[in-house]
């Protein structure tokens, strides 16, 4: 029986490689987003920790705390913007990955359908050959029966 050979196998391999590359890019974007979220949470925790001023603090300490809180607040704003950008990039990567998966699945479906058609055709050829052998055997037996009478 002949082996099935998919004519578009190279295309399928290329699409698989592109999908794998998109998966890596997506995971990388996802980890960058998680790092930005962790940084933002750390900054917010630090802000909350130093936000409340103790009663026995000097004016200089209050100014230092105020400057520090302003710096943290600025960092929070920048990190929030950065996180927003990373979320947009992540969403673009997600859409790209979905598209690559659809493209791959399209070719895989085509491959499966062609393989099924090939196997069906091979089974029909094999069945025809078996039918012919059975018919020849029947005719031979019939001749033997007529000749043997």
| Centroid of chain to Cα 48 | 39
Report pTM. Answer: 0.73
Angle between helix 59-148 and 9-51 (nearest 10): 160
Long-range contacts of 114-118 (CB under 8 A, 24+ apart): 114/4, 114/6, 115/4, 115/6, 118/4
Quote the CA–CA distance of 33 and 55 in Å, as a whole number: 39
Quote the CA–CA distance of 49 and 73 in Å, as a whole number: 13
Q: Encode pLDDT of 63-80 as tens digits.
A: 898 999 999 999 999 999
The pLDDT score that the predictor gives to residue 148 is: 57
Which residue segments constitute the domains of the chain, with CATH numbers given?
9-148 (1.10.287.1700)
The pLDDT score that the predictor gives to residue 149 is: 53
| Residues lower than pLDDT 70 in the chain | 1-2, 147-149
């Amino acid at each position: 029986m002949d082996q099935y050979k998919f004519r578009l196998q190279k295309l399928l391999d290329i699409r698989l490689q592109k999908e794998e590359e998109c998966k890596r890019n997506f995971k990388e974007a996802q980890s960058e987003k998680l790092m930005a979220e962790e940084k933002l949470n750390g900054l917010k925790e630090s802000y909350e920790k130093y936000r409340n001023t103790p009663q026995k603090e000097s004016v200089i300490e209050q100014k230092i705390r105020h400057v520090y809180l302003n710096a943290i607040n600025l960092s929070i704003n920048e990190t929030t913007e950065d996180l927003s950008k990373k979320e947009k990039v992540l969403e673009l990567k997600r859409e790209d990955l979905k598209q690559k998966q659809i493209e791959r699945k399209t070719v895989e479906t085509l491959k499966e359908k062609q393989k099924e058609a090939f196997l069906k055709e091979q089974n029909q050829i094999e069945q025809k050959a078996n039918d012919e052998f059975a018919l020849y055997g029947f005719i031979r037996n019939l001749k033997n029966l007529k000749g043997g009478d």
